[in-house]
Amino acid sequence: MTAKKSTEMSVFGVDVLEGLSSTPKHLSSRYFYDDEGSRLFMEIMKLPEYYLTKAEFRIFSEQTREIFESFTSGADSIDLIELGAGDGVKTAVLIRYFLERGLNFNYSPIDISQQANDALTSRFHSEFPSLTINPHTGDYFKILGSLKDGSDRRKVVMFLGSNIGNFHRDSAINFFRELRQSLSEQDRVFVGFDMQKDPRVILSAYDDPTGVTAKFNLNLLTRINRELGGTFDTSKFSHYAHYRPIECAARSFLISRERQTVTIEAIDRTFLFEQWEPIFMEISQKYTRTMIEEMAGDSGFEIEADFFDGVNFYNNSLWRPKGHAA
């Protein structure tokens, strides 16, 4: 590849080139979410095996008042910002309650999928006509800096769905540190963490029998075909997931079912896949309370409040900047 070519390449192309040239091969899960990926993820959330959404929904429904009180303790108005808002079904529970309580707040959902953002905005407009909503379509990594806008209202930044579990630990810490730089002392972060539990329960959430999770993973190959001129035949790859209890992490892979080559025009490369060779797709980290506390501390935050579901499957953790209790 010439230097000129590399400067012309999209970031997506550069990442795919780096991932498929590595040993073992990998693709970044941040590219799962084109409009189709975002739609498939909404299907995953409805699967009986995908306990995460149900557990977080239960926390929001059963502890709405406590969440409201913790968000507004020491603040009479807030900017509610949601990173990767998706369909906002859980957030709607909080919004309804906040409006009923007459809270002065506005809601800014940020999602990389235009389709997801449009659907959420039109639903919330009709469900909550009095809500001030400022949707933003884009990459939440890129908008972190713009959160520092000088507004004197408390910002509560929500990062739900255990989306943080898709980051390796160092990336998660860097992400939260960057977020901390954009926040002031009165602001809060509200993060959804999937907890360590029976490994069989965890694995079933990433390996559903109806194959929606497989479609979700394979969709990234289809996206490479469409956006980068790839020649992946998705029928020649299959989805595989495992959970390692010592690391508390589920991982998913696409496995090449036969020896094959795939060409990707935009990066001017042909890749060889041996039979049964894996492409590492995604990590889904699970947590203990100690891991969450350490992650908050290492990122410049401390835990202000914990919200667990009834069976400790899931934790929504409210963080404040370290050393700034209200």
Ligand X SMILES: C[S@@+](CC[C@H](N)C(=O)[O-])C[C@H]1O[C@@H](n2cnc3c(N)ncnc32)[C@H](O)[C@@H]1O
User: In angstroms, what is the C-alpha Rg of the chain?
Assistant: 20
Question: Are residues 221 and 39 in contact, defined by beta-carbon separation less than 8 angstroms?
Answer: no
**Which stretches of the chain bind ligand X, using CB under 6 A?**
30, 33, 38, 41, 45, 53, 84-86, 110-113, 116, 139-141, 160-161, 163
- Compute the least distance from the CB of residue 167 to ligand X, in Å: 11
| Residue ranges of E strands in the chain | 25-26, 77-83, 104-111, 132-133, 136-137, 154-159, 188-194, 237-244, 249-256, 260-264, 269-273, 278-285, 301-308, 314-321
- Compute the least distance from the CB of residue 139 to ligand X, in Å: 4
- Compute the least distance from the CB of residue 41 to ligand X, in Å: 5
CB nearer to ligand X: pick between 160 and 262: 160
Angle between helices 114-127 and 89-100 (to 10 degrees): 30
Angle between helices 64-72 and 51-62 (to 10 degrees): 70
CB nearer to ligand X: pick between 221 and 262: 221
CB nearer to ligand X: pick between 53 and 256: 53
- Compute the least distance from the CB of residue 219 to ligand X, in Å: 12
- Compute the least distance from the CB of residue 246 to ligand X, in Å: 25
**Cα–Cα dist 231/167, whole Å:** 28
What are the tokens at 19?
Answer: 């991932």
CB nearer to ligand X: pick between 13 and 84: 84
CB nearer to ligand X: pick between 85 and 218: 85
Length of the chain: 326
